[in-house]
Amino acid sequence: MGHERVGVLPKTKRWQSIVGQIASSSRADFDVSALTRQTIQNVRQRFRNLQDDNATKAAFTFLVNLAVSSRPPDPHQLAQLLHTDPERVTPLQLAKALHLFISQAGGLPEYSAVAEGAAVDALALWYEHNRTKQQNLFDSFDSAYSVWHKAGNGPGFCELSRLFFGKMVERYLNYFLEREASRVTPTLQARNLFRERLELHLDDISRHAFETSKITQSYAAGWFNRYAAGGMPSEQEIERFISYAFGKLQDELIREAQDK
Amino acid sequence: MSDPVPYIVLCNGAAPGSVCSADQFVHCLHLDYRQLPEIEQTVRLALPKFVGSVYYLPPRILDLLEIAGYVYCADRSVSRGSKSAVEYHKWARSYHYLIKVRDHAFWQQPHVGKLLNELLTFLSGDQQHQMTFLSGHATPPSSLFDREDFTVDSGEDTEVMLFSGGLDSLSGAVEHLATTGKRLCLVSHQSYQPATARTQEQLVRAFNKRYPGRVRHFRYECSLRGPRARDETQRTRFFLYTSIAYAVAHAFDKRALYVYENGVTSLNFPKRQDLRSARASRTTHPKTIHLLKQFLSLVAEAPFEIVTPFFWRTKTDVLYVLQRQGRTDLLSSAVSCSKTFKTDIGRTHCGGCSQCVDRRFATYAAGLENCDIPGNYVLDSIREPVPPDENKTTLVDFLRQAQRFDAASLDSFYRDRMNELAEVVDYLDGMDEQAAVESLFSLCHRHGAQVMEAIRRIQQLHDDPRRSIPEASLLDIVHRREYLEEPEGTVTVRQDNAPFEVFYSYSHRDETLRDELEKHLSLLRREKVITGWHDRRIGAGTEWEGEIDEHLNSARIILLLISSDFLASDYCWDVEVKRVMERHEAKEARVIPVILRECDWHRAPFGKLQALPTDARPVRSRHWHSEDEAFTSIAKGIRAAAEALRQDGSS
């Protein structure tokens, strides 16, 4: 009871170079962008597999569905989508519906765990950023609906997508880096610092890819307005968006490291 | 990447026949426990012996015990992939069992197999545990009493509980026995782990001594005889455990069984991203318990309960139970370690696995660290350098999680743990979502606060601000004191109120008495009058002779624990006594013979020194009403010696 399987990174040179970089993460000259770039390069083909996996598609489809169904001023369409009573829908209920949706998609278990976690992160962060002080965590759906309603337009959808894709990359990188980080950083403080630096860097990257880079922002908003205007976009359109968003993030990760 | 080809598991002589297609024969396991000439016995399953202990079990429950045994053995047979793989796709395996059963009409129902599959996949993180049940299985009666009309005693005033011999089940049994007046059937699974069996039996003896006639221990032996997978896990073992307990409950006509496990361990929230998919085990997770209840209710054809009384408690809370019931004497006998194969003779815990770490911090948080002998741990992660291997990952991530729980607000907990909460809230009986989340937050927050309290206590007890902290020790990891690094050329001045190091020179045959003496000196340690050192503090992989020399040369008070074994020990005599007397004569240390047992010590080199206890009356002798009285006399003598040393130093 309470067992944990402690994983490690492969003993190959390119992975051990990553371990070496983590070990020096508390030094002032530590370059987090070089670390993330090299990690992504180490798993370049696998990163593509993750993008193409059914679980990733299902997670993003769920979020698109959420945004599309949140456009009307009343919550019934979203409640119908989730096969539930509007009174019973809370962020946690959405997370449960998401779990179920992904579990039925037939993705690989390893990728399902990453996609599920990232999509729930996106829901949780969206709710936290958009709820008013009067709204508590357990408000019934009717009174909390205004929070989700904000995702039902171009800019709202763009932000929800940014949160999701940013967290996908973060969780996927942590799937590797966290195996060794606590072992090789010297102190608890250094370990926490490493986590914060990585989190901030990836938030910056996703922000840059989706906001500062107006191309993506207009692409996301335009995509949503064009393909989601009359209901759910087609599967092909969703796949195209996923491919575009991951490509943009990957470019950003590599460019950021090269600029230094 | 395509779905994995399932492992076909043929049990009880089942033949695939038309059930499986030829391409499904890539991986095939034959599991059988029956002792028949034409069968290779790949599983050891002492079913007849177990049935003998309850006289009779109906066919469906015999089937259940076989199914659970086979699932457990199949789990151990198939590798889950290397820990150093880039991605862990081999972790989630796919099984298709073909099992011959007695009660085919029951097992063949689709909803039975479906529920079993859901339970086992959640428990193990595997992709599939598909079951195909075949008819035509039978076994002979285990004894003359193996008949439906023979039953064990009435189950009135009896409860059934799982008993692993760990701290939670120990505390559960103690609480139950002390507060209910009921009898208790303790149920254990035993594989080939003699040390675990010994622990359980030792604790059961202790229960029976205190509560005569109220405790019965049922054991079910089940282990794999064939080759085990290199990177094996035993995630399905809990299904076997509960199946055994269910069988016992049935024999006693009970409709419930008890599982004592603290809630933080039951939830086992992943501490790293790679710990998803049950790599952080979900043994007593509320969803597991819920699915098991549903499944056992199907088997029973009536509602069956699994009661988890410790779910809303932390490990520290569980220790308070032992404290409240006055049974902390049993604490060091309970074994929590999940890696007992890493232990050595005389040490029951590896010290580095998550359970060992959790236990160590809980004992400090509860103020019971003196009841849990550090010598029981191969790695004393509290005081020794933690090697940069998986032990450090486990320790640091345990601390990180506790730190985050401690610092969390309800909002941040909800945000950060929403993914895990979504898998829990529906399975907390009778609670709405808000009550469930608030209670889970309260539990985790309390756990975090208790671990932080444990750290403060460890610092208070072991952190001497005038000494450097060993690199990579716990204290170094949580609070490196870089400001203490001395600039070159400064002179270290010993502070007058620094504790005196006490060195124990003793024979290992007197270890129990040394432990007792340490307990009696605990107040002196807390008051920072002394610190203690003996060879059991030597870390794994450390050069022990060098470390003994170092402490022998630095200690200000040296205790020679005298007995015939001490006199007979070449190492004590040739090395330690020689060096001790040199230091005594140079007035570098105060040497005190402590007479443990009667022997002829007066003519030894230390024979002229003032010995303890008073009048050098041996601890184990009729001169004392109890050993406690003798040890109290020794503690007083050591306090006086420390005060004299302090005065010498200040004059």
**Cβ–Cβ gap B87/A110 under 8 Å:** yes
Tell whether A62 lies on the interface with B, counting CB pairs under 8 A: no
pLDDT digits (tens, 9 = 90+) for A174-193: 999 999 999 999 999 999 99
- Mean pLDDT along residues A89-100: 90
Picking from B166, B422, B477, the nearest residue to A187 by CB comes out as: B477
The pLDDT of residue B486 is 41
The pLDDT of residue B449 is 97
The pLDDT of residue A45 is 93
- Tell me which residues of chain A, numbers 25 to 54, contact chain B at a CB-CB cutoff of 8 Å: 42-43, 46, 49
Distances (CA, A) of B556 to B84, B159, B318, B395, B534: 48, 55, 39, 33, 14
Quick one: chain A helix, strand, coil %, rounded to 5? 75, 0, 25
pLDDT digits (tens, 9 = 90+) for B507-541: 888 988 998 998 889 888 877 788 887 776 654 44
On chain A, the residues whose CB falls within 8 A of the CB of B80 are 5
pLDDT at A153 over 60: yes
The pLDDT of residue B10 is 94
The backbone torsions φ and ψ at residue A172, rounded to the nearest 5 degrees and listed phi first, read -70, -40
Picking from A109, A182, A186, the nearest residue to B277 by CB comes out as: A109
The pLDDT of residue B495 is 45
Model confidence at B484, pLDDT cuts 50, 70, 90, reads very low
Q: What is the ipTM of this complex?
A: 0.94
Tokens representing B338 are 């999940």
**Cβ–Cβ gap B476/A187 under 8 Å:** yes
Query: How close is the nearest chain B Cα to the Cα of A98, in Å?
Result: 10
CA B166 to chain centre: 5
Q: Are the CB atoms for B284 and A1 separated by under 8 Å?
A: yes
Picking from A5, A95, A188, the nearest residue to B478 by CB comes out as: A188
Of A168-182, A184-198, B632-646, which gets the smallest average pLDDT? B632-646
Global pTM value: 0.80
Decide: residue B393, CB within 10 A, 0-12 exposed, 13-18 middle, 19+ buried.
Answer: buried
- Mean pLDDT along residues B138-155: 80
Nearest CA in chain A to B233: A5
Of A119-123, B46-50, B476-480, which gets the smallest average pLDDT? B476-480
pLDDT digits (tens, 9 = 90+) for B115-143: 999 999 999 999 999 999 999 999 988 88
Tell whether A20 lies on the interface with B, counting CB pairs under 8 A: no
Query: How close is the nearest chain B Cα to the Cα of A152, in Å?
Result: 21
Q: Are the CB atoms for B168 and B318 separated by under 8 Å?
A: yes
DSSP assigned state of B229: P
Is the four-CA dihedral A114, A116, A119, A125 of positive or negative sign?
negative
pLDDT digits (tens, 9 = 90+) for B399-442: 999 999 999 999 999 999 999 999 999 999 889 999 999 999 99
**Cβ–Cβ gap B268/A9 under 8 Å:** no
**Cβ–Cβ gap A182/B275 under 8 Å:** no
Q: Which residue has the higher pLDDT, B6 or B393?
A: B393
Q: Which residues contact A208 (CB under 8 A, 6 or more apart)?
A: A252, A256
Q: Are the CB atoms for B641 and B590 separated by under 8 Å?
A: yes
Q: Are the CB atoms for B384 and B533 separated by under 8 Å?
A: no
Q: Buried b vs exposed e over B559-569: b needs ≥16 C-beta within 10 Å? A: bbbbbbbbeeb
The pLDDT of residue B497 is 66
DSSP one-letter string for A15-53? HHHHHHHHHTTTSTT--HHHHHHHHHHHTHHHHHHHHHS
- Tell me which residues of chain A, numbers 123 to 162, contact chain B at a CB-CB cutoff of 8 Å: 123-125, 127-128, 137-138
pLDDT digits (tens, 9 = 90+) for B548-569: 777 788 888 999 999 998 888 8
pLDDT at B492 over 60: no
Question: In terms of Cα–Cα distance, which of B182, B170, B122, B208 is closest to B323?
Answer: B170
Tell whether A10 lies on the interface with B, counting CB pairs under 8 A: yes
Nearest CA in chain A to B270: A4
On chain B, the residues whose CB falls within 8 A of the CB of A127 are 415
**Cβ–Cβ gap B238/A1 under 8 Å:** yes
B365: left (phi over 0), alpha (psi -120 to 50) or beta: alpha
Decide: residue B574, CB within 10 A, 0-12 exposed, 13-18 middle, 19+ buried.
Answer: exposed
On chain A, the residues whose CB falls within 8 A of the CB of B261 are 1
The pLDDT of residue B538 is 58
**Cβ–Cβ gap B84/A123 under 8 Å:** no
The pLDDT of residue B615 is 84
Distances (CA, A) of A107 to B3, B8, B233, B427: 9, 23, 23, 25
Number of Cβ atoms within 10 Å of the Cβ of B45: 26
The pLDDT of residue B526 is 78
The pLDDT of residue B494 is 39
Percent of chain B with pLDDT over 70: 93
Model confidence at B365, pLDDT cuts 50, 70, 90, reads very high
- Mean pLDDT along residues A211-217: 68
**Cβ–Cβ gap B354/A2 under 8 Å:** yes
On chain B, the residues whose CB falls within 8 A of the CB of A132 are none
The pLDDT of residue B651 is 40
The pLDDT of residue A215 is 64
pLDDT at B24 over 70: no
The span from the CA of B449 to the CA of B418, in Å, is 21
Model confidence at A259, pLDDT cuts 50, 70, 90, reads low
